[in-house]
Amino acid sequence: MPTSLRSWLFTPATRPERFAKAASVAADVLIMDLEDAVAPVDKDRARSIALQTLTEPSDMPARVIRVNGLGTRAGLNDLTAILEAEAIPNLLLLPKVESPVQLQIIDRLLTEVGASTALVALVESARGVDAVHESLLATPRLRATMLGTADLAADYGCDSRAPNLLIARARLISAAARARVDAIDSPWFDLHDDAGFQRDVEQAVEMGFVGKAAIHPRQVPVINAAFAPTPEQVEHAHSILAVNAAGVGLLDGVMIDEAVARNARRVLAAAGISTSPEGARHG
């Protein structure tokens, strides 16, 4: 599984003809959705398609299944089928995570069957935001957390662009940093507002998210470009680390210390460049 997971494309599991599109637009992650994008009558068929797809070769860096909520019959059926499946997903996206216990239960079940599947906690409720710091420390199997603003806005009773959601985004970023997991931003749902989408992606980068979910293939290139460091940023990061190697120093009149160097390492990591001694320059 790649170290950089910038773009996460949601696709209904009932539409397997769309799966190849994720690879063609260079999405880092294909999310085969069994939950919101699938009607109740189609849950069994969606599950069967997703699990069958995992047995087939793919050009995708990572394939994910979003299961139904574990408090639902469909969610329990999803989990049972995954635990018994011939092939398992790279990542399992768990909706409506509101406590560490939910993640710990899944961790134990995956461990019992010897599965290496990592977990992604989808935080999309007021209760989930309140518990996010504890939830993200629940298990070392947790790879990332994702914010779900549609359900969260409904929970708060606010508009999807209200300041309330900025606070939730900040809390998720803080909890993810503390737990050392990736923070993935919610999708942008208005496909007719390209300018708003661009601003939303830029804000996610500025806040410290390392990736963003998408609901349409044409959103993926914008996300990938925004979360990929520019050549100038990469060169500047190299310069910072060169100064930092000799201790505290100045670069273009700016003091360089370990805190600045940490951000430089993050830039290089996002560019897929190693900062180990043997790969420090060319990765």
Tell me the average confidence (pLDDT) per consecutive run of 10 residues in the chain, 283 residues long. 82 96 94 96 98 92 94 96 93 97 96 96 97 98 97 93 92 97 96 96 95 97 90 79 76 78 77 58 36
- Going by C-alpha positions, the residue among 149, 120, 148, 150 that lies closest to residue 135 is 120
CA triplet 264, 266, 267: central angle to 5 degrees?
Answer: 65
CA triplet 213, 183, 221: central angle to 5 degrees?
Answer: 35
Q: How far apart are CA 87 and CA 65, in angstroms?
A: 12
Q: List domains and CATH numbers for the chain.
A: 7-227 (3.20.20.60), 231-279 (no CATH)
- 13 alpha-carbon distance from chain centroid: 18
The secondary structure of 236-262 as a DSSP string is HHHHHHHHHTTSSEEETTEEE-HHHHH
Both tokens of 227, joined, read: 């979360």
pLDDT of residue 261: 80
Listed in order, strand segments (DSSP E) in 148-246 are 182-185, 211-214
H-run or E-run covering 266: helix 258-270
pLDDT of residue 3: 63
